[in-house]
Amino acid sequence: MILSDIKRYLQDRGQATLGDIAIHFDTDPDAMRGMLAQWIQKGRVLKSELRASCNRSCSKCCRDDAMEIYEWRS
């Protein structure tokens, strides 16, 4: 897998969770964070955090990798 594959994936979808990206590329979420960090550094990907509806940060209602959202910036 190369960075251009991640680029195409995010361009096609607009945004995706870390968990979805890791599953699609059959890669560990931590390894995927490193690759996404390169696109973030170039200003092409924006990372945001999903907030729980209860306004708590315990993540009991959702997996950690499902709470990280990555969006391709045109």
Q: How far apart are CA 70 and CA 48, in angstroms?
A: 6
Q: What is the pLDDT of residue 8?
A: 97
- Does domain 3-72 fall under CATH 1.10.10? My reply is yes
Q: What is the pLDDT of residue 74?
A: 85
Instruction: Give me the mean pLDDT over the 41-63 stretch.
Output: 74
Q: Where are the domains of the chain?
A: 3-72
**Mean pLDDT of the chain, nearest integer:** 87
Look up residue 12 and give its amino acid: D
Phi, then psi, of 2 in degrees rounded to 5:
-125, 170
Between these two residues, 49 and 71, which has the higher pLDDT value?
71
Question: Across-strand partners of 61?
Answer: none
Q: Is residue 1's pLDDT more than 60?
A: yes
Q: Give the pTM.
A: 0.80
